[in-house]
């Protein structure tokens, strides 16, 4: 009877413990300075890393908030008009990061102009910002840890 009563009490209390843990969750923040045009860097150091790190923090009742500032040679991964199947697959995986982990993608408008990239050609989840330097300064001043992907 004691075991039954103890189990019943745990079932009543456990959901409230989870709610308390979620309310006390610590938010971690990281901004990726993405300049690399290397597809292996995108796949391993960005896409896989964000997914794995987000899961790690979720398992520890912490939230990982991620921004990716896009400039340098990385523009090509965020243009949706590519005929390359590998690039289309990368685009789907980047969208999954946006959908599943609320990753914010910010692209430098200065570099877009230099490369003749129109805002219409970007994936809808990409936000255009005045320039990469301002985006990185703002993120770091908002408490984001800086991680270069060059």
Q: Is the pLDDT of residue 25 over 90?
A: no
pLDDT of residue 18: 54
Q: pLDDT tens-digit profile of 29-48?
A: 999 999 999 999 999 999 99
Model confidence, pTM: 0.84
Question: Which residue segments constitute the domains of the chain, with CATH numbers given?
Answer: 26-149 (3.40.1260.10)
pLDDT tens digits, residue range 120-130?
999 999 999 99
Q: How many other CB atoms are found less than 10 A from the CB of residue 130?
A: 11
Residue 17 has pLDDT above 70, yes or no: no
Per-residue pLDDT of 65-110, as tens digits, reads 999 999 999 999 999 977 889 999 999 999 999 999 999 999 999 9
Confidence of residue 23 (pLDDT cuts 50, 70, 90): low
- Least Cα distance to 144 among 71, 70, 45, 64 occurs for 64
């Amino acid at each position: 009877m004691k075991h039954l009563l103890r189990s019943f009490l745990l079932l009543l209390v456990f959901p409230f413990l989870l709610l308390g843990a979620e309310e006390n969750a610590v938010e971690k923040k990281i901004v990726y300075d993405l300049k690399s045009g290397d597809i292996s860097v995108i796949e391993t150091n960005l896409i896989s890393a964000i997914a794995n790190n987000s899961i790690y923090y979720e398992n520890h009742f912490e939230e990982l908030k991620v921004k990716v500032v896009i400039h340098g040679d990385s523009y090509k991964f965020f243009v949706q008009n590519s005929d390359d199947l590998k690039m289309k697959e990368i685009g789907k995986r980047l969208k999954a990061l946006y959908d599943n982990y609320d990753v914010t993608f910010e692209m430098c408008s200065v570099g877009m102009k230099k490369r003749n990239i129109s805002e219409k050609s970007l994936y809808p989840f990409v936000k255009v910002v005045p320039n990469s330097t301002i985006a990185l300064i703002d993120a770091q001043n908002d408490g984001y840890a800086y991680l270069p992907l060059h």
